[in-house]
Amino acid sequence: MKFIIGIGGVTNGGKTTLTGRLIKNLPNCCVVHQDDFFKPQDQIEFGEDGFRQWDVMTAMDMDAMVNTVKGWMENPVKFARSHGVSVSAADDSDPEREIHILIVEGFLLYNYKPLLDVFNKSYYVTIPYEECKRRRSTRNYTVPDPPGLFDGHVWPMYLKHRKEMENNSLDIQYLDGMKSKEELYNQVYEDMQNSLLNAL
């Protein structure tokens, strides 16, 4: 059985930390990080706000991302092995009961139509403006944030995309990113276990 989980949400909300913990504790689990599909800096256009447009869909090679997800869907075992993920031995009596999980993690997961149909479960981490700005200011990025980027580009784009996403009528479970890492993980892990049991 194949199961795809989306973990989306606001920048610095805790998506990657949560994903990292889930990977360690879910069986046959692989991950696709949206951040791995950013285009090179020289291909990121400047917007009317005066900033390079990192926080929009065109900043990423979404075709490559979708193809990566499809590669997993076609052959999760081969995908896992090629990404260094050990796969538990198949139960010969009933290979259908063997579970393979893919976590797709990123800040713009639920705004790209070709991806919407693949998720069995969709989570979205939110944190308030002040906390998001505080966390963002403490992070070191390969391409550092220019002054004013958060208020001039990052947050307005987040609000815009969140509104678009909510209009897509996808069944999304919202997570409170202000909870402790432990609480967030336990909430999602328990929910996942229930979903997997129901799907079997």
Residue 88 region, left (φ>0) first, then alpha (ψ -120 to 50), else beta? beta
Spatial neighbors of 42 by CB under 8 A, at least 6 apart, are: none
DSSP labels, 14-32: SHHHHHHHHHHHSTTEEEE
The separation between the first and the last C-alpha atoms of the chain, rounded to the nearest angstrom, is: 8
Q: Coil, helix or strand for 75? A: coil
Q: In the structure encoding, which two tokens stand for residue 184, read together?
A: 């967030």
Amino acid, single-letter form, for residue 109: L
Of the residues 35, 63, 91, 151, only one is catalytic, namely: 35
Task: Count CB atoms within 10 A of the CB of residue 181.
Answer: 13
CA-to-CA separations, 172 to 87, 106, 166, in angstroms, rounded: 29, 14, 9
- Whether 91 is a known active-site residue: answer no
Strand order in the sheet with 29-33: 29-33, 100-105, 2-9, 121-126, 172-176
Catalytic residues: 35
